[in-house]
């Protein structure tokens, strides 16, 4: 679909510098721009590309002033926040390409299931007993929705997602391909002979509104009660969230984060990739945990943490200076010991 600079400026409430009739029909990174493409510039590191880009339109911050001549074919649209506005356009584009309402065949829908208005249900989907799916939901092919699961309105579930029985998904959620929600928590108790006996996991998972879950992430059902992913949480691909965990509102975690059972993660926490968080501990609101960190004890006050086990980021940076010097320090210690031994032997 084609848009003019004038139409885009009206959507974004931006100022046009150049040709208001310039047309675009695709999106492109500024360094890969070509005629008919729309790009954006928000990071000063990429400014050099705006002077050579082939894009027809570029969204820039209102503070941007070119230091060189811009391409004659380039039209600028100045906005308060170029990155946020480009994200807004991407959302408009995604909504335009949303699946049309309808139920494809073949699939299985239990007679007791309740399907809302204007939903899309892809082929080979399974909808179990007493399932409730809200209006405007998009369910892609090969999705399994277990008995008594609830999916609220405007949620999108991509292919090969598995929702175990009684899972609850809120409004406006996005669940990417391969996600498993509600699988059994890792609950086993050894008997007197050291043989592990399975502890039944009879709880569920509750995902609140506006949550996005990346591909192949797993979220385990509670032993009893619920595992909670609160409103606005963003989870990257390949994360593992164990039973009875609670992730607070608007927390974000990068790929390969692992959270052990019954941990309580506060609001607006940021967790870097490959970080691990131990079970039965709490993380204070607005804490920042660097990638590959290991959290083995409760964090009571908001701070930036790094290391395994984690320590305050400022302490880690100072310690790292010492770590790098250890080989030379060891060499000096050995030399000193050798000299000391020689002095002692002369006495």
Q: Is 318 left (phi over 0), alpha (psi -120 to 50) or beta?
A: alpha
Q: Under CATH, what is the fold of the domain 102-312?
A: UDP N-Acetylglucosamine Acyltransferase; domain 1 (2.160.10)
pLDDT at residue 92 greater than cutoff 90: no
> Would you say the pTM of this structure is higher than 0.75?
yes
Share of the chain above pLDDT 90, in %: 88
Contacts 24+ apart (CB under 8 A), 253-262: 254/291, 255/214, 261/185, 261/186, 261/187, 261/220
Banded pLDDT at 64 (limits 50, 70, 90): very high
pLDDT digits (tens, 9 = 90+) for 236-294: 999 999 999 999 999 999 999 999 999 999 999 999 999 999 999 999 999 999 999 99
pLDDT at residue 37 greater than cutoff 90: yes
Banded pLDDT at 97 (limits 50, 70, 90): confident
pLDDT at residue 313 greater than cutoff 90: yes
pLDDT confidence of residue 94: 77
Peptide bond into 106 cis (omega under 30): yes
> Would you tell me how many other CB atoms lie within 10 Å of the CB of residue 24?
22
CA distance 146 to 247: 23
pLDDT confidence of residue 120: 97
pLDDT digits (tens, 9 = 90+) for 148-193: 999 999 999 999 999 999 999 999 999 999 999 999 999 999 999 9
pLDDT confidence of residue 99: 84
pLDDT at residue 98 greater than cutoff 90: no
- Strand pairing partners for 197? 189
- Which of residues 172 and 341 earns the better pLDDT score? 172
Compute CA 271 distance to the chain's CA centroid, rounded to the nearest angstrom.
Answer: 10
Mean pLDDT computed over every residue of the chain: 95
pLDDT confidence of residue 342: 86
User: Quick one: the chain helix, strand, coil %, rounded to 5?
Assistant: 20, 30, 50
Which residues in the chain are classed under CATH 2.160.10.10?
102-312
* Mean pLDDT value across residues 131-145: 97
Name the residue among 31, 7, 2, 27 with its Cα closest to residue 19: 7
Banded pLDDT at 46 (limits 50, 70, 90): very high
Enzyme catalytic residues: 243
| CB of 312 closer than 8 Å to CB of 290 | no
Q: Under CATH, what is the fold of the domain 3-96?
A: 3.40.1390
DSSP calls for 85-139: HHHHHHHHHHHHTPPPSEE-SS-EE-TT-EE-TT-EE-TT-EE-TT-EE-TT-EE
CA distance 155 to 135: 9
Peptide bond into 309 cis (omega under 30): yes
- Which of residues 128 and 89 earns the better pLDDT score? 128
pLDDT confidence of residue 1: 74
Which residues in the chain are classed under CATH 3.40.1390.10?
3-96
Residue by residue, what is the 3-state secondary structure of 179-243?
CEEEECCCCEEECCCCCEEECCCCCEEEECCCCEECCCCEEECCCCCEEEECCCCEECCCCEECC
| CB of 279 closer than 8 Å to CB of 261 | yes
pLDDT digits (tens, 9 = 90+) for 320-339: 888 888 899 999 999 999 98
pLDDT at residue 96 greater than cutoff 80: no
| CB of 289 closer than 8 Å to CB of 270 | yes
pLDDT confidence of residue 90: 84
């Amino acid at each position: 679909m084609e848009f003019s600079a004038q139409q885009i400026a009206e959507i974004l409430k931006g100022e046009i510098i150049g040709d208001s009739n310039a047309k675009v029909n695709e999106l492109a990174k500024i360094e890969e721009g070509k005629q008919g493409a729309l790009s954006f510039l928000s990071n000063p590191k990429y400014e050099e590309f705006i002077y050579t880009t082939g894009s027809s339109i570029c969204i820039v911050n209102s503070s941007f002033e070119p230091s060189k001549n811009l391409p004659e074919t380039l039209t600028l649209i100045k906005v308060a926040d170029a990155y946020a506005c480009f994200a807004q356009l991407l959302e408009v584009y995604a909504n335009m390409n949303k699946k049309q309402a309808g139920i494809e065949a073949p699939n299985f829908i239990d007679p007791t299931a309740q399907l809302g208005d204007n939903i899309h249900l892809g082929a080979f989907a399974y909808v179990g007993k007493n399932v409730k799916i809200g209006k405007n939901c998009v369910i892609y092919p090969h999705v399994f929705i277990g008995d008594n699961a609830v999916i609220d309105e405007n949620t999108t579930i991509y292919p090969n997602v598995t929702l175990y029985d009684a899972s609850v998904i809120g409004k406006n959620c996005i669940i990417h391909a391969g996600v498993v929600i509600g699988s059994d928590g890792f609950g086993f108790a050894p008997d007197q002979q050291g043989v592990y006996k399975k502890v039944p996991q009879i709880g569920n998972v509750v995902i609140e509104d506006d949550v996005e879950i990346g591909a192949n992430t797993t979220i385990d059902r509670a032993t009893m009660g619920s595992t909670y992913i609160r409103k606005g949480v963003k989870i990257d691909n390949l994360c593992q969230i164990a039973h009875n965990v609670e992730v607070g509102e608007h927390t974000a975690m990068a790929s390969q984060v692992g959270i052990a059972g019954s941990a309580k993660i506060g609001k607006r926490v940021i967790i870097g990739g490959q970080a691990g968080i131990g079970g039965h501990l709490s993380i204070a609101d607005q804490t920042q945990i660097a990638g590959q960190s290991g959290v083995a004890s409760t964090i009571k006050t908001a701070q930036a943490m790094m290391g395994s086990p984690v320590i305050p980021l400022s302490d880690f940076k100072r310690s790292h200076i010492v770590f790098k010097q250890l080989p030379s320090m060891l060499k000096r210690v050995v030399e000193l010991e050798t000299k000391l031994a020689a002095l002692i032997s002369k006495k």
